[in-house]
Structure 1
Amino acid sequence: MSVTSSVSGRQWPEPSATLRLIKPITWFPPIWAYLCGVISSGAVLTGQWGLVLLGVLLAGPITCGMSQAANDWCDRHVDAINEPDRPIPSGRVPGRWGLWIALAMTGLALIVGMQLGPWGFGATVFAVLAAWAYSAEPVRLKRSGWWGPGLVALCYEGVPWFTGAAILSAGAPSMQIILIAGLYVVGAHGIMTLNDFKALEGDRQTGVASLPVTLGPDRAAKLACWIMTLPQVGVIALLTLWDRPFHALGVAALLGAQVWAMNTLLKDPKAKAPWYNGTGVLFYVSGMMIAAFALRGLS
């Protein structure tokens, strides 16, 4: 099916297809990371709930939603192979509506980001540029199995965490916050690699050098597991060093649960990657919040 075809001559997008285009299920990671930043800042939230809510809307529905629309527009040819029922290749978001939605949401993200002060606006500008650099030609960093997942991990985990902490504390976050957020960014590279399994066939046909394509599913899954595990070991070590033994123990317990899930994943990586993303990742992000509360005590 041509990616420019429409369903029954449709000229306007279906509302349900438009919602699917911006993928609400993907909003959770940046929202969660933003809230981790808010908690880790140690700031008193009384009187600042407006900033918290505005940041949640910016991180999730607006900026992440924009990035999803941009990615679907730029990936419409790949999606015609992998998932032809998606809004753009199916024609339920016809013509150039996918592009127009992504551009309109880009403008909205920048306007809202301006309301969060220089830190919030700077982070928004970075996130917007990163979203287009990831998906659009001629840069299209998603072609790389290293740069693509790394950039997504940074924008899903690191930038929102840093922004939440900076906005609530009205200044640069502490070095402890930057270290912990940075370690979780590195670990999230493995999560994003597992996410690439769903597009394995389309990536092969269109020249996207994801790690599942270049290394094969088995080796890519093993590498992803190591990338997810080692940074969390670093988090545990730092929390212990900073006299937060109970928080360190909590993160260690959740890492143990991930190792159990990884053993299941590695038995059949291609089939089990979606299962792991719904199971092991929950343990991962729970550890993030425990670490955020540990940092709040330090602040």
Structure 2
Amino acid sequence: MSVTDLPSSSRRWPDPLAVLTMIRPITWFPPMWAYLCGVVSSGVAPGSAPGLVLLGVVLAGPLVCGMSQAANDWCDREVDAINEPGRPIPSGRIPGRWGLWIALAMTVVSLLVGWTFGPWGFGATVVGVVAAWAYSAEPVRLKRSGWWGPGLVGLCYEGLPWFTGAAVLSVGAPAWPVIWLALLYSIGAHGIMTLNDFKALEGDRQTGVNSLPVTLGPERAARLACWVMALPQLAVIAALVQWDRPLHALGVAAVLVAQLAAMRVLLRDPRAKAPWYNGTGVVLYITGMMISAFAIRTLGVSP
């Protein structure tokens, strides 16, 4: 199926509400939260640079993440015509190539804003923009892989904005504990992204997207996702104990135990419960992120 095979529309201009739907505000929260984790973990008082904090949140969420959603919707228009024909592009509410033009315009705006953050912020913005297109667009389209695709999204949703927030406030490379925790939570986010793939199972199967729910089956993919989410958090707890942050380690352990209880519910019926877990277990996961960020803000270890 090509763009010409999608339902025709008499619209010349996109529906503003459809544009908002396409850039999915609900997806902006994880990178915005991760950026704030980076700000906290840097040890620099956010009040010392409120403009950088606020603009960084906007860059991580509405701009770069919103752009990635627009690019993904454009590149996934054939898949969405199978899975979700009511979505903005296949439904015709965003006609013609408007989805592409919007994604490209947001790419340019993201890079221009990123430029104002200096070398570290701009470099991270470039990585995020390139990763967004590499995930969705041919010929790379890492989304086809159930391993590389979720890994890249996890890195860009959690690790990259965390690193960026710390680097921008520190005006330099973050300390090693910051980098280590950002990496661990990025790895764990691979499991979250795998569960997110459950909603597109049928369309992915028909269009050759080899997500883990497609290649492993829902039950095995869900079990793997749980392990991938849990093990990095165990490593975070161990690191916090080693860095003499026992109370913070206990806090992360508590939210992990709550996640394990939610995982038991998930594994009873992965296809039905994956959306529920993404609204329940993920909140616990990001709570642990912020606890960890507060834990290391005073370590003062240079890279």
Q: Same fold (TM over 0.5)?
A: yes
How many equivalent pairs are there? 298
Find the partner of 1:5 among 7, 10, 14.
7
Q: Does the 8 Å CA contact 1:187/1:228 hold for their aligned counterparts? A: yes
Q: Deviations over 1:253-287 (max 9, x none)?
A: 00000000000000000000000000000000000
Pairwise CA RMSD: 1.0
Tell me the equivalent position of 2:171.
170
Q: How far apart are 1:298 and its partner, in Å?
A: 1.4
Q: Flag as ranges the 4+ runs of structure 1 deviating above 6 A.
A: none
Tell me the equivalent position of 1:197.
198
Q: Does the 8 Å CA contact 2:40/2:46 hold for their aligned counterparts? A: no
Separation in 2, partners of 1:71, 1:88: 11
Separation in 1, partners of 2:95, 2:6: 7
**1:135 alignment partner AA:** S
Q: Does the 8 Å CA contact 1:3/1:76 hold for their aligned counterparts? A: no
Q: Deviations over 1:53-80 (max 9, x none)?
A: 1100100000000000000000000000
Tell me the equivalent position of 2:128.
127
Tell me the equivalent position of 1:251.
252
Q: How far apart are 1:3 and its partner, in Å?
A: 5.4
**TM-score if structure 2 supplies the norm length?**
0.97
Separation in 1, partners of 2:182, 2:105: 30
Look up the SS of the partner of 2:63 in the other structure. helix
**2:239 alignment partner AA:** L
Percent identity over the alignment?
74
Tell me the equivalent position of 2:58.
57
Separation in 2, partners of 1:55, 1:189: 23
Q: Does the 8 Å CA contact 1:158/1:184 hold for their aligned counterparts? A: yes
Tell me the equivalent position of 2:161.
160
Q: How far apart are 1:44 and its partner, in Å?
A: 2.2
**2:102 alignment partner AA:** I
Separation in 1, partners of 2:157, 2:218: 24
Q: Does the 8 Å CA contact 2:189/2:229 hold for their aligned counterparts? A: yes
Q: Does the 8 Å CA contact 1:78/1:203 hold for their aligned counterparts? A: yes
Q: How far apart are 1:47 and its partner, in Å?
A: 3.3
Q: How far apart are 1:5 and its partner, in Å?
A: 2.8
Unaligned runs of 5+ in 1: none
Q: Does the 8 Å CA contact 1:35/1:161 hold for their aligned counterparts? A: yes
Separation in 2, partners of 1:228, 1:297: 26
Please say which of residues 39-48 and 162-171 is displaced more in the overlay.
39-48
Q: Does the 8 Å CA contact 2:6/2:81 hold for their aligned counterparts? A: no
**1:91 alignment partner AA:** G
Q: Does the 8 Å CA contact 1:203/1:213 hold for their aligned counterparts? A: yes
Look up the SS of the partner of 2:48 in the other structure. coil
